[in-house]
């Protein structure tokens, strides 16, 4: 089982998606996202969320993401943040704040 100390190691932040495009080279359908995390800057994320979301509707959406995992090569793209969501019937549903928050706000 994970401990509370393990959870505290995760840096989970709110950010706004500023760019989304289909990843043509990914093995599974995915989007290449650019997410604005305020003072942390803009980070790239590869997200397999194509079943429920179009690229156009992702622009401007606030999401929660882990920002302190090591960068990971996904096809021709370096993913720097792990967008959070639930595996639900019909595809992944993004974890989003109920209200608009400042980019970079930390989950606490």
Q: Which CATH number fits domain 4-94: 2.40.50.140, 3.40.50.300, 3.30.479.30, 2.60.120.1060?
A: 2.40.50.140
* Cα–Cα distance, 78 to 90 (Å, whole number): 27
**pLDDT tens series, the chain, 108 aa:** 999 999 999 999 999 999 999 998 888 899 999 999 999 999 999 999 999 999 999 999 999 999 999 999 998 899 999 999 999 999 999 999 999 999 999 997
pLDDT of residue 64: 98
- Its pTM surpasses 0.75: yes
* Sequence spans of domains, the chain: 4-94
pLDDT of residue 75: 87
Instruction: Let me know: does 80 contact 45? Beta carbons within 8 Å.
Output: yes
Counting Cα atoms < 13 Å in the Cβ hemisphere of 40 gives 23
In this structure, the number of other CB atoms found within 10 A of the CB of residue 54 comes to 11
* Cα–Cα distance, 73 to 93 (Å, whole number): 23
User: Would you give the distance in Å from CA 73 to the centre of its chain?
Assistant: 15
């Amino acid at each position: 089982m994970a401990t509370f100390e393990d959870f505290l190691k995760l840096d989970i932040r709110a950010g706004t998606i500023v760019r989304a495009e289909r990843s043509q080279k990914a093995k599974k359908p995915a989007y290449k996202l650019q997410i604005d995390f305020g003072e942390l800057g803009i980070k790239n994320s590869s997200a397999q969320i194509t079943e429920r979301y179009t690229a156009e509707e992702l622009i401007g959406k606030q999401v929660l993401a882990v920002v302190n995992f090591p960068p990971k090569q996904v096809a021709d793209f370096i993913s720097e943040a792990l967008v959070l969501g639930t595996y639900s019937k019909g595809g992944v549903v993004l974890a989003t704040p109920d209200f608009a928050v400042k980019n970079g706000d930390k989950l606490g």
